[in-house]
């Protein structure tokens, strides 16, 4: 059942991506206009989603589940950085390829999927995973794209995404709640994130020569690492740990993390490629290909996980 719901939601997002292609082909907007949407998604929509997710009452079960999600997200991202570094040494994966392997679509795709499949009460755990990823994105990922010599501790911490994570944790611990009208605004903004991300991909796809990109055989190596190798390792880890034996709701919490591990390359990688002029078309081609592949691989990993 979970796999069927997942396929349905992925198809919906693909249709939105198609609209992005159409509005560019029709001359309504240009492909490069997606840079504006990228900035809006990174600096406006994502912070709203993160802050809203932390608007709940802290209970021992939620606390333990979040700590587990934080830990597993750190393990997942650290492990994928290790895999990318090995790939860099063995087959010379470049910056776009490395980050495409490391960073799954923990925010733009997974938060809407978890809400749709499991319900809004489970989004806090996906948000915990996304929060860890945001820290990695605004430190490791930005450093690799912009050059470590251009990075500073101040820049890492004082950006709206990192601050939203820290602010969300403070709100959760202190029990401070947004007024009802602010919550409604946050809900509205958050519901835009998935469609926004897919429109960006579609707009880039409209002017991307996919035939040329597919000729890059390395693209398929990146797709294999991102969509099969990394999630397979995480699936094995979850089967060995069996969080449902020691954590209330552990099966569902682990499922939300596995959805992230098996998701396509983060659209943020494409957005950073745009912002830092690092072959955004290639990054988009990887994103599009992994998103196409996820129609099969994500439900498959969910099915394998559901087998007891």
Q: Going residue by residue through the chain, which has 308 residues, state the pLDDT in tens, using 9 for 90 and above.
A: 566 777 787 788 888 888 999 999 999 988 888 878 878 887 888 888 888 878 877 888 888 999 999 999 999 999 999 999 999 999 999 999 999 999 998 876 787 778 777 777 788 898 889 888 888 988 888 888 887 766 666 666 677 777 887 888 888 888 888 888 988 888 888 778 778 878 887 887 787 776 766 677 789 999 999 999 999 999 999 999 999 999 998 999 999 999 999 999 988 898 788 778 788 878 888 988 898 888 889 989 988 998 87
The pLDDT score that the predictor gives to residue 156 is 64
pLDDT recorded at residue 154:
65
Can you give the pLDDT at residue 81?
A: 96
**Cα-trace Rg, the chain:** 18
Left, alpha or beta for 63 (phi > 0: left; psi -120 to 50: alpha)?
Answer: alpha
For residue 212, the model assigns a pLDDT of 67
Looking at residue 277, what is its pLDDT? 78
Q: What is the pLDDT of residues 213-263, one digit of tens each?
A: 667 778 999 999 999 999 999 999 999 999 999 999 899 999 999 999 999
Task: Count CB atoms within 10 A of the CB of residue 177.
Answer: 12
pLDDT at 118: 78
Which tokens belong to 141? 């990922």
Q: Which among 268, 278, 207, 155 has a CA at the least distance from the CA of 20? A: 207
pTM of this structure? 0.82
Question: 199 with 19: CB under 8 angstroms?
Answer: yes
- Residue 237 has what pLDDT? 95
**φ/ψ bin of 29: left (φ > 0), alpha (ψ from -120 to 50), beta (otherwise):** beta
CA distance 170 to 176: 8
Q: Are 31 and 203 in contact (CB under 8 A)?
A: yes
pLDDT of residue 243: 93
Predicted pLDDT at 121: 78
| Cα–Cα distance, 291 to 298 (Å, whole number) | 10
- pLDDT of 4 reads 74
d(CA 80, CA 261) in angstroms, rounded, equals 10
The answer to whether the CB of 99 falls within 8 A of the CB of 122 is no
What is the Cα–Cα distance from 298 to 296, expressed in whole angstroms?
6
- Predicted confidence at residue 84, as pLDDT, reads 95
CA-nearest of 139, 187, 192, 142 to 165 is 139
Select from 293, 264, 204 the least CA-distant residue to 17: 204
Place of tokens 């559901």: 306
Fold held by 2-306: Na+/H+ antiporter like fold (1.20.1530)
Judge contact between 94 and 152, C-beta under 8 A.
no
């Amino acid at each position: 059942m979970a796999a069927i719901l997942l396929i349905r939601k992925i198809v919906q997002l693909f249709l939105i991506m198609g609209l992005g292609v159409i509005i560019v082909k029709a001359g309504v907007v240009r492909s490069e206009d997606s840079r504006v949407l990228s900035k809006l998604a990174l600096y406006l929509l994502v912070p709203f989603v993160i802050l809203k997710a932390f608007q709940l009452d802290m209970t021992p079960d939620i606390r333990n589940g979040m700590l587990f999600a934080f830990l597993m997200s750190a393990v997942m991202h650290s492990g994928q950085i290790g895999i990318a570094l090995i790939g860099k040494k063995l087959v010379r994966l470049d910056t776009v390829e490395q980050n495409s392997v490391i960073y799954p679509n923990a925010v733009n795709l997974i938060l809407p999927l978890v809400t749709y499949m499991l319900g809004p009460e489970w989004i806090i755990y996906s948000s915990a995973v996304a929060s860890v990823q945001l820290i990695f994105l605004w430190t490791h990922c930005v450093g690799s794209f912009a050059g470590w010599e251009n990075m500073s501790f101040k820049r890492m911490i004082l950006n709206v995404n990192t601050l939203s994570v820290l602010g969300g944790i403070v709100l959760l611990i202190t029990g401070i709640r947004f007024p009802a009208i602010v919550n409604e605004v946050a809900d509205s903004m958050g519901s835009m994130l998935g469609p926004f991300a897919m429109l960006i991909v579609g707009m880039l796809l409209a002017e991307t020569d996919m035939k040329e990109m597919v000729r890059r055989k390395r693209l398929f190596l990146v797709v294999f690492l991102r969509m099969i190798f990394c999630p397979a390792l995480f699936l094995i880890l979850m089967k060995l740990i069996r969080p449902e034996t020691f954590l209330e709701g552990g099966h569902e919490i682990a499922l939300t993390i596995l959805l992230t591990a098996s998701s396509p390359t983060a659209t943020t990688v494409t957005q950073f490629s745009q912002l830092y002029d690092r072959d955004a078309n290639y990054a988009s081609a990887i994103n599009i290909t992994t998103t196409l592949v996820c129609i099969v691989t994500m439900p498959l990993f969910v099915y394998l996980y559901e087998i007891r």
